[in-house]
């Protein structure tokens, strides 16, 4: 089945899959894809954008088109590059930075027109309702697993949860959600946020969970889909739910992002925060000091270009961070 690539949590998978193609989130992160991407963008571009471009260039034949959204400058620029270097049809959803539901709603209408042309079929209300039902069931399954992750002690690791989320992002629901849980963890409870967690980042999550338990996250690549709940099974319901999801940090003002994360930190009894940022991801880098002040919890910053060349240094820092939380050095 042909894939429709997409780049952002604000793009409704229900509409993409109603075309009969498979929604595939572009969220790759390896050095080899990133190096391939460097053939078409400058070396100091965002590693996620470079890796996605590299992946797409190597796998173009599997795709029928790409839908991208305007988030940061590079997210937008990558769509221009795809248009230039591939023969794939590309649609850009102009995701408003400021609070403007009308722009978003109009953009969804435009997206529907693009998808109807791409899939050569009408996205009828019946078809849309059926796709909403299918994806809501999938999200509900993930929400149940998330409750286990959130439990005290956490009963499901985030590295295992990430594997389930990958199946969501690749458009393939698992045949069954796991019935048994990972072993309960008694490590210090932390919240993970920052740049997107790629498909290939699982070893990093495992490394973190040797000394910490990640009991919640606000990350593309992991939990973002859970935050979308469609109540009315029609196009209006899709617009509402996707627009009113807890907002990305790039929205302005981003007060609601801070409010959402503050609430999560309390509800999930977090003792610390791990902020994972990609090189050149200024959206997050510029906010880290404010986060430390606003959230009032110890914060471990880890910055990456997707290589694991700093792994021994990370190991030491993670272990020291876990120890400092245990000994209440910060709190």
Count residues binding ligand SF4 (CB under 6 A): 13
Nearer to ligand SF4, 229 or 251 (CB): 251
**DSSP-assigned beta bridge partners for residue 301:** 275
Using CB under 6 A as the binding rule, whether residue 288 contacts ligand SF4 is answered as no
Note the Cα 170 to chain centre separation in Å: 12
Applying CB under 6 A, the span of 160-168, 199-207, 263-271, 277-285 interacting with ligand SF4 comes to: 277-285
Of positions 15, 281, 297, 300, contacts ligand SF4 by CB under 6 A: 281
| Alpha-carbon span 203 to 314, nearest angstrom | 12
Q: How far is the CB of 311 from ligand SF4 (least distance, A)?
A: 21
Using CB under 6 A as the binding rule, whether residue 51 contacts ligand SF4 is answered as no
Cis before 253 (ω within 30): yes
Q: Are 155 and 147 in contact (CB under 8 A)?
A: no
The alpha carbon dihedral of 280, 3, 169, 104 has a sign of: positive
| Alpha-carbon span 285 to 288, nearest angstrom | 6
Using CB under 6 A as the binding rule, whether residue 298 contacts ligand SF4 is answered as no
Using CB under 6 A as the binding rule, whether residue 93 contacts ligand SF4 is answered as no
Q: Where are the beta strands (DSSP E) in 206-293?
A: 213-218, 272-278
Using CB under 6 A as the binding rule, whether residue 74 contacts ligand SF4 is answered as yes
Of positions 40, 48, 190, 235, contacts ligand SF4 by CB under 6 A: 48
The alpha carbon dihedral of 265, 271, 276, 281 has a sign of: positive
| Alpha-carbon span 8 to 67, nearest angstrom | 9
Of positions 15, 40, 46, 79, contacts ligand SF4 by CB under 6 A: 46
Using CB under 6 A as the binding rule, whether residue 265 contacts ligand SF4 is answered as no
**DSSP-assigned beta bridge partners for residue 4:** 23, 65
**DSSP-assigned beta bridge partners for residue 88:** none
Nearer to ligand SF4, 33 or 156 (CB): 33
Nearer to ligand SF4, 80 or 267 (CB): 80
Applying CB under 6 A, the span of 10-18, 121-129, 161-169, 279-287 interacting with ligand SF4 comes to: 279-287
Using CB under 6 A as the binding rule, whether residue 30 contacts ligand SF4 is answered as no
Helix-helix angle 125-150:235-243, to 10 degrees: 30
Using CB under 6 A as the binding rule, whether residue 49 contacts ligand SF4 is answered as yes
Residues forming the site for ligand SF4 (CB under 6 A): 46, 48-49, 71-72, 74-75, 195-196, 278, 280-281, 283
């Amino acid at each position: 089945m042909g894939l429709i690539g997409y780049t952002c949590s604000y793009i409704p998978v229900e509409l993409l899959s109603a075309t009969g193609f498979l929604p595939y989130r572009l969220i790759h992160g390896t050095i080899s894809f990133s190096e391939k991407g460097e053939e078409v963008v400058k070396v100091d571009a965002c590693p996620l954008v470079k890796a996605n471009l590299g992946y797409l260039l190597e796998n173009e034949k599997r795709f029928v088109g790409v839908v991208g959204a305007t988030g940061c400058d590079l997210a937008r620029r990558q769509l221009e590059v795809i248009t230039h270097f591939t023969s794939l049809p590309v649609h850009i959803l102009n995701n408003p930075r400021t609070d403007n539901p009308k722009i978003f709603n109009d953009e969804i209408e435009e997206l529907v027109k693009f998808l109807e042309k791409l899939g050569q079929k009408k996205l009828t209300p019946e078809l849309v309702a059926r796709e909403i039902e299918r994806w809501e069931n999938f999200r509900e399954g993930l929400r149940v697993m998330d409750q286990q992750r959130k439990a005290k002690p956490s009963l499901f690791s985030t590295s295992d949860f990430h594997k389930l989320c990958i199946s969501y992002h690749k458009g393939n629901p698992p045949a069954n959600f796991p019935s048994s849980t990972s072993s309960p963890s008694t490590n210090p409870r932390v919240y993970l946020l920052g740049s997107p967690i790629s498909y290939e980042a699982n070893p990093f999550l495992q490394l973190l969970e040797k000394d910490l338990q990640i009991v919640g996250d606000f990350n593309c690549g992991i939990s973002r889909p859970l935050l979308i709940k469609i109540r009315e099974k029609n196009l209006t319901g899709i617009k509402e739910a996707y627009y009113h999801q807890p907002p990305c940090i790039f929205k302005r003002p981003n007060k609601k992002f801070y409010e959402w994360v503050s609430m999560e930190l309390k509800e999930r009894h977090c003792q610390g925060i791990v902020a994972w940022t990609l090189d050149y991801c200024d959206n997050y880098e510029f906010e880290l000091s404010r986060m430390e002040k606003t959230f009032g919890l110890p914060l471990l910053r880890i910055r990456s270009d997707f290589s694991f060349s700093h792994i021994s240094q990370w190991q030491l820092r993670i272990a020291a961070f876990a120890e400092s939380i245990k000994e209440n050095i910060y709190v």
